[in-house]
Structure 1
Amino acid sequence: MAFTEPFLHKEKPILITESWTSLHPRLIAGFSTKLEGESRVQKNTLNLGLHVGDSTELVLKNREKAAALLGFSGDSWVCAEQVHDHHIQKVGQRKNQDLGFTSYDHAIKGADGLYTDQEGLLLALCYADCVPLYFFAGDRNMIGAAHAGWKGSVGNIGGKMVDIWREEENISPETVFVIIGPSIGSCCYEVDDYVKSKADSVLFDKKITNPPYLEKDSGKYALDLKELNRQLLIASGVKKEHIITSSLCTSCEDNLFFSHRRDNGHTGRMMSFIGISKEDKEN
């Protein structure tokens, strides 16, 4: 798998991809780090998750900081409940309604994927090892985001986004661009026979013959979730050259990212985000 790292300037609290700057002048997509925040989960970190036992007050301060850096106020954020499934929800403007910025309970229920063709909305999902997927179809100003842990990955949530866009939005998969963001890498992600069998099932269904895992020991496998998602996206019709995959491993980059597996479950959350602003911020 070839990498063209989309997330540079790793010393910053917010990583913005420069890979899509030519696709739309007001498109912003990126991933937060754990740098320069006020969290108590891990002291003085930029935890953006409201559901991990942190102080709500401090998380909201962190979110306000992220909102200011991105130029998208909290009332423009749309968040999802993220239940490790593969349900995807189309969203639009909902005036005076909190869609997850200040309360986890207000996020879109039961969803792990969001998409919209509305400018001025920021699709925002939380992570601590799972794979962030970003989608863009420029001819329709359509953007999407999906949260792909192993369950979402074997459920082919990325391919489902592409299928929904084709079937319900009349968007050809060949026009879709995808970024596969920072997540735990095969260097740090070991799974058992059960998870491997689920991966094998979806790979067989899609006629993919190059499984993205290696057996390390009897019943133990190093699984590359990024590559699994990339192969499934290609099988769904996305062009290989339209997919960019991050090389960053959330577990390896201890100074930069939270990691559920590395930190034994007691950790914060990064956030993926994608949006198209209503106006050019330079004007």
Structure 2
Amino acid sequence: MEITRKERHGVLFYSCDEMEQAGFAHGFSTRVGGVSPAPWDSLNLGAGRGDEPERVSENFRRFCHAIGADPDTLVKNHQVHSDLVRQAGWGDQVSFPGEGGETEADGLITGEKGLSLCIFTADCIPVLLCDPVKRVACAVHAGWRGTALGIAARGVERMKQDYGCRGEDILAAIGPGISTCCFETHADVPDGLREGMGERAEEFIHPIPENREKYHVDLKGANRRWLMDAGVAPDHIAVCEVCTACRGDLFWSHRRLGVRRGSLATVIQIR
């Protein structure tokens, strides 16, 4: 499995062909193909960032149309860097595409056909899960805190507990996010990973020789490890290697731009 870049109707996004073929409309957005002006240019999908709600709604319509999802069925969270994955059903969707989420959680799971799960990032790691057998979808936002807490594994566990999914049937896609090259941190991030992952964390922590107080951390690799530990087969996990901090032409990066920026979105819908 792999994640590839696609363009439809002028909207640039990333997706996994195997998930698409299994019947799950989905995509990881870029900043290309929307209507918002600077500093949100152009496909800003984040409400509450200062952009006009009408423009955010139009951007969602364009993005969802490109990936084959329905913008009128979006479910969103108020993300708090937790490991909480909540059940989503009809009645949870926002009233219009440009509206923000209110329920505090960092993951969404559903077995409802047609419901579109949505999470947001701007360097954090977006993870999509789907089960073609049980017809279940899950989307999680994994910042470094969520990664340390194992939110990707929590998503797999909820799929098993709530729907009877089997790890070997689940497909996973780890989307664009900050990569090891640009994620430079103090000891709090490595310490958090060690607390959550134990000895398994060490392979994702790389001390910077010229600065003993800082580290490069591989969040994508850590999330892949959580998924495998939860029972997802290694060949069922696709990882996008593109770094959001490196590619300012394609993505917003909180590390690079701070708060005056747009937000990326990741959406999955069971067809």
TM-score by length of 1: 0.87
SS of 1:8's equivalent in the other structure is strand
User: Mapping of 1:1-283 within 5 angstroms?
Assistant: 5-9=2-6, 13-21=11-19, 23-24=21-22, 26-42=23-39, 44-94=41-91, 98=94, 101-104=97-100, 107=101, 109-204=103-198, 208=200, 210-216=202-208, 217-277=211-271
- Taking the aligned partners of 2:46 and 2:244, their CA distance within structure 1 comes to 16
Residues 33-59 of structure 1: per-residue CA shift (max 9 Å, x gap): 111322245254110000212222222
Q: 1:249: how far off?
A: 0.6
- Taking the aligned partners of 1:164 and 1:276, their CA distance within structure 2 comes to 17
- Taking the aligned partners of 1:100 and 1:223, their CA distance within structure 2 comes to 37
Q: RMSD of the alignment, in Å? A: 2.1
SS of 1:62's equivalent in the other structure is helix
Greater percentage in strand: 2
In the alignment, structure 2 segments of 5+ residues that lack a partner are none
Quick check: 1:128–1:259 contact (8 Å CA) kept in 2? yes
Deviating more after overlay: 121-130 vs 139-148:
121-130
Q: 1:169: how far off?
A: 2.2
Change (3 A) 1:243 1:99: farther
Q: 1:23: how far off?
A: 4.6
SS of 1:9's equivalent in the other structure is strand
- Taking the aligned partners of 2:102 and 2:119, their CA distance within structure 1 comes to 11
Query: Which letter does structure 2 place at the counterpart of 1:156?
Result: G
Q: 1:208: how far off?
A: 2.0
Query: Which letter does structure 2 place at the counterpart of 1:30?
Result: G
Greater percentage in helix: 2
In the alignment, structure 1 segments of 5+ residues that lack a partner are 278-283
Residues 58-98 of structure 1: per-residue CA shift (max 9 Å, x gap): 22221222233334333211111111111111112228x63
Query: Which letter does structure 1 place at the counterpart of 2:146?
Result: G
Q: 1:108: how far off?
A: 5.0
Q: How many residues align?
A: 268
Query: Which letter does structure 2 place at the counterpart of 1:38?
Result: V
Q: 1:195: how far off?
A: 1.4
- Taking the aligned partners of 2:264 and 2:110, their CA distance within structure 1 comes to 22
SS of 1:45's equivalent in the other structure is coil
- Taking the aligned partners of 1:234 and 1:193, their CA distance within structure 2 comes to 26
SS of 1:136's equivalent in the other structure is strand
Quick check: 2:3–2:16 contact (8 Å CA) kept in 1? yes
Quick check: 2:71–2:97 contact (8 Å CA) kept in 1? yes
> Matched residues, percent identical?
29
SS of 1:151's equivalent in the other structure is helix
Q: 1:136: how far off?
A: 0.8
- Taking the aligned partners of 1:202 and 1:44, their CA distance within structure 2 comes to 37
Q: 1:259: how far off?
A: 0.6
Quick check: 1:41–1:268 contact (8 Å CA) kept in 2? no
SS of 2:257's equivalent in the other structure is coil
- Taking the aligned partners of 1:22 and 1:62, their CA distance within structure 2 comes to 21
- Taking the aligned partners of 2:227 and 2:37, their CA distance within structure 1 comes to 38
- Taking the aligned partners of 2:192 and 2:121, their CA distance within structure 1 comes to 22
- Taking the aligned partners of 1:28 and 1:164, their CA distance within structure 2 comes to 21
Residues 83-135 of structure 1: per-residue CA shift (max 9 Å, x gap): 1111111112228x63672321xx25011100111111111111111100000
- Taking the aligned partners of 1:166 and 1:18, their CA distance within structure 2 comes to 22
Query: Which letter does structure 1 place at the counterpart of 2:57?
Result: L
Change (3 A) 1:35 1:195: same
- Taking the aligned partners of 1:101 and 1:73, their CA distance within structure 2 comes to 10
